[in-house]
């Protein structure tokens, strides 16, 4: 007997329910699939419930799976197999805007650095006009530091949430130099 071979898997998105319930872990959902002699999934069941919407999303995605059928002596036959979906929390996104505190003018030459508890500091690429964006960040707490020539640097701690867009505006005060006559 030759087992069925996966031909198409549209995937399964991290459940919105899990995100709403602040469940941000990697989750594996094991399924038992019954596949007919045409390679179509006719029944799917979860081998161990995971909750938070993972089971429902996996079962719905299993309906869209396409297989080449199992064969016995070259003849297509029905089969029962185990299948697994792995859910990774979606990345967090961060948008930072750096502007002059007095005028509100975007600070095009600003620099933005992120420091997480683990890992090396990361500099965000500028999108122009004092805007910075990163869409592939791990979730958790990060320190965001913004510097611009002629302005006082600022830092803020931000908690990034999987699947969310976090936006923060830094209003940097200009440095004032006073002339002292002697």
Cβ contact 158:168 at 8 Å: yes
Q: How many helices (H) and strands (E) does the chain have?
A: 2, 15
The confidence score (pLDDT) of residue 139 equals 87
The confidence score (pLDDT) of residue 136 equals 84
Please give the chain's pLDDT, 182 residues, in tens: 999 999 999 999 999 999 999 999 999 999 999 999 999 999 999 999 999 999 999 999 999 999 999 999 999 999 999 999 999 999 999 999 999 999 999 998 899 999 987 778 888 887 778 899 988 888 889 999 999 999 999 999 999 999 889 999 999 999 976 655 66
Cα(182)–Cα(111) distance, integer angstroms: 36
Which residue blocks in the chain are alpha helix, DSSP H?
16-20, 54-62
Cα(177)–Cα(65) distance, integer angstroms: 67
Whole-structure pTM value:
0.72
The confidence score (pLDDT) of residue 181 equals 63
């Amino acid at each position: 007997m030759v087992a069925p071979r996966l031909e198409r898997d549209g995937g399964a998105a991290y459940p919105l329910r899990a995100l709403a319930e602040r469940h941000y872990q990697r989750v594996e959902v094991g399924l038992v699939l019954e596949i007919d002699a045409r390679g179509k999934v006719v029944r799917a069941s979860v081998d161990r419930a995971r909750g938070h919407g993972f089971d429902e999303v996996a079962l719905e995605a299993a309906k869209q799976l396409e297989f080449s059928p199992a064969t016995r002596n070259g003849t297509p036959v029905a089969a029962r197999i185990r299948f697994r979906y792995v859910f990774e929390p979606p990345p967090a996104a961060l948008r930072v805007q750096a502007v002059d505190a007095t005028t509100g003018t975007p600070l095009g030459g600003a620099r933005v650095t992120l420091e997480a508890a683990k890992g090396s500091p990361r500099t965000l690429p500028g999108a122009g006009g004092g805007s910075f964006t990163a869409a592939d960040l791990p979730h958790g707490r990060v320190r965001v530091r913004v510097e611009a020539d002629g302005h006082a640097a600022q830092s803020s701690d931000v908690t990034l949430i999987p699947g969310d867009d976090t936006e923060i505006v830094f209003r940097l005060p200009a440095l004032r130099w006073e002339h002292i006559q002697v």
